[in-house]
A and B are shown apart, each in its own frame.
Chain A
Amino acid sequence: MHSLRKTPLNRVHHDLKARMGDFAGWELPIWFTSILEEHKAVRSWAGMFDVSDMGRIWVSGKKAGQFLDKVLTRSVRRLEIGSSQLCLLCLEDGGILDDLWVYHVGVDEYLLVWNAGHTERKLGWLFRWSESDPDVTFRNATDDTAMVAVQGSAVCQLGSMRTLCNLPRFGHTRGKIDRFEVLVARTGYTGEDGFEFISSTGDVSPLWAILMNEGVKPCGLGARDVLRLEAGMLLSGQDMDASTNPFEAGLAWLVEFDTRDFVGKTSLLEIRRQGIRRKLIGFKMKGREIARSGYPIFNSGQKVGGVTSGGYSPAVGIGIGLGYVPVELAIIGNEIEILIRDKLVSAQIVNRKFYKKGGAE
């Protein structure tokens, strides 16, 4: 068996007897006690996730902003210092290499936070487009930092987080949790309020312990996947990849066609002009079966697409999912069928925001 990369919290997870698994080459907790309990903790109080597997890349230098404007689908020109935004890294043909957060940390200083997969390819992509310009420098801080997401409706009731609660949504700052220095952002991937902080590798275990003492429940990837799916958030590499474009994936809002030129712009304009053929939909099962990633979608006896994410939703109380179907079928209220092993099972196309703060849709 190949050896998995370990985060600075690996020992802590093992001490807590977490069920560990392989996620994009990293050994991470799938669950600590139960996915349902962890899901409930985040929806009703607070939970935390080790997200140290996510890549953290500093981009700095006089031309850092100019460079990011060339490779990202949203301009950083109007992104104020202390703010962050979600955007896409697209290939020249408009395919999605990844989605990522850009933090504008200081003058000519940006931080990219991206998904764990395909790191070499993404770094290679950045190097290629920077054309070795001495005014753009990269530093991969993934290995010498740790990252934790603290998420939940009650995060602002936590003593350690209280001073951070004046941060606006998507805002970030260098601050302190207890006595430890962190870079913290009001972002997340669960559909709840929350923070994601980056600390030194040495500080993260005591920080984790402090949060646990405040009643924040350690949560694994299983709960994270359910929470993001309920919130209608896409998982890169699963719901979108190099073979999907932002329009099909319902991510047109992450593409800004302003006056600047950026990688993929020509293709994306052409795709927009021609129109898309398939579209990402949200669906809700009619019965109690559960559709999962890879199951085929049928309409009138014909295979028309596939499920990209699917699972049981505790908030909805039934199976939900995301998948691609031809654009003419992608209408809310339409019925589709999903092949679950050897049975065709009915599902209904619904808004993919299955859950909104304060209760299920």
Chain B
Amino acid sequence: MNPKGYKYTREHEWICLEPGNTGKTGLTKYAETQLGDIVFLDLPAPGTEVEQFKKMGEIESVKAVSDFFSPASGKVVEINAKAVDEPKLVNEDPYGVGWLVRLELSKPSELDALMTSEVYDKYVDSLSHES
């Protein structure tokens, strides 16, 4: 269910490598379902330097607030203005029009440490069988 070719973090962010050393990031389907209706996105301004696994934004749903951690180090080159205006796009299409931040990667090799879709599918599966 999670797109192949994307890489995933334990905190449920995804990154999709693009030509020219940039990567698009967003929230996974699992995270979106856990949060419920998303109503506000607080994303970093373009130009902001971010570090892998460090907080780069906040996602507010009706029920709760959640940190958004960067899947990779680099510089923010673009944020999804459409999703900022209409946060429910993240619920509707988290891997497509609901993407969040585009990064220019400073250490592309960092992505090796992230989960593939196969590993992430199993990870999410293990979480839903807990509790």
Contacts and interface: CB of A to CB of B under 8 A. Distances in A.
Interface of A: 1, 19, 30-31, 34-36, 222, 226, 288-290, 292, 311-312, 319, 341
A26 to B, nearest CB: 16
A239 to B, nearest CB: 18
Nearest to B37: A36
Contacts of B58: 341
Which of B36, B60, B62 has most A Cβ within 10 Å? B62
Contact of A34 (B36, B40, B65): B36
B131 interface: yes
A154 B15 CA distance: 46
A35 B42 contact: no
A289 B62 contact: no
Interface in B104-126: none
A222 B60 contact: no
A35 B40 contact: no
A2 to B, nearest CB: 13
B50 interface: no
9 contacts: A19-B36, A35-B36, A35-B37, A35-B63, A290-B39, A290-B65, A311-B62, A312-B62, A319-B40
3 A-B pairs with the lowest CB-CB distances in the bound complex, closest first: A35-B62, A36-B37, A312-B39
B63 A222 contact: yes
B72 to A, nearest CB: 23
Contacts of A341: 58
Interface residues of B, number: 11
B62 A1 contact: no
Contacts of A289: 40, 42, 60
B37 A290 contact: no
Given A19-B36, A34-B36, A35-B36, 17 more contacts: A1-B131, A30-B36, A34-B37, A35-B37, A35-B62, A35-B63, A36-B37, A222-B62, A289-B40, A289-B42, A290-B39, A292-B65, A311-B62, A312-B39, A312-B40, A312-B60, A312-B62
Contact of A222 (B36, B40, B65, B131): B36
A65 B100 CA distance: 61
B60 A30 contact: no
Which of B40, B58, B131 has most A Cβ within 10 Å? B40
A35 B37 CA distance: 7
B36 A31 contact: yes
Given A1-B131, A289-B42, A226 B36 contact: no
A311 B131 CA distance: 27
A348 B40 CA distance: 19
A319 B58 CA distance: 15
B60 A290 contact: yes
Interface string B34-64: 0011011010000000000000001010110
Contacts of B131: 1
Contact of B40 (A1, A30, A290): A290
Nearest to B63: A222
A28 to B, nearest CB: 14
Contacts of A34: 36-37
B40 to A, nearest CB: 5
A172 to B, nearest CB: 32
